[in-house]
Amino acid sequence: MRDEIWSHRPPPAAGPATSVLWRCAPATASELTDSRARLRGRLADGDGPPEADGEPLDTLLLAFEELGSNALRHGLPPVEITVTLAAGTWVLDVSDAAPGRGPAPAVDRDPAAGGLGLHLIARLAVAHGWDSHDGRKHVWACIVAAPDPG
């Protein structure tokens, strides 16, 4: 069932117009939260699409915190997080040193017990998955940076 929710597949290929907006390596939950706040500030200061505020930015930051905290809790250090922007879409890539352990979404768990972050991100992202390369697991999600004007 896990593969139906969070597929083992590579992230979208970076194109020539792809730009790295953020890179960090949090070692603790508090460092992750601090990094999320700095990312918010950077994007609010104009390092993202001008329309990328409100709900799109909140979705990116939620995915950042959820996938980052999963890597810190269930992966192996070091955890590295990269946010890139290409064609109006943020690609969030969270990697750790446990290439053989894919994300494991909660199954048949009482929502009060938590563990539903992967399900939430799968619903909010336009694409998501995980892959292993260079000795690392990469869990990724694509978040639309700006709403479709049409």
Indicate whether 2 pLDDT > 90: no
Cβ 48 vs Cβ 145: under 8 Å: yes
CA 58 vs. chain centroid, Å, equals: 12
Domains along the chain with CATH numbers: 2-144 (3.30.565.10)
pLDDT interval class at 3 (50, 70, 90): very low
Place of tokens 């939430």: 120
Give 83-124 pLDDT, tens digit per residue. Answer: 999 888 999 999 999 999 889 887 776 666 566 889 999 999
State how far the Cα of 141 lies from the Cα of 23, in Å rounded to an integer. Answer: 15
pLDDT band at 5 (very low <50, low <70, confident <90, very high): confident
Which of 23-27, 46-50, 56-60, 119-123 has the least mean pLDDT?
46-50
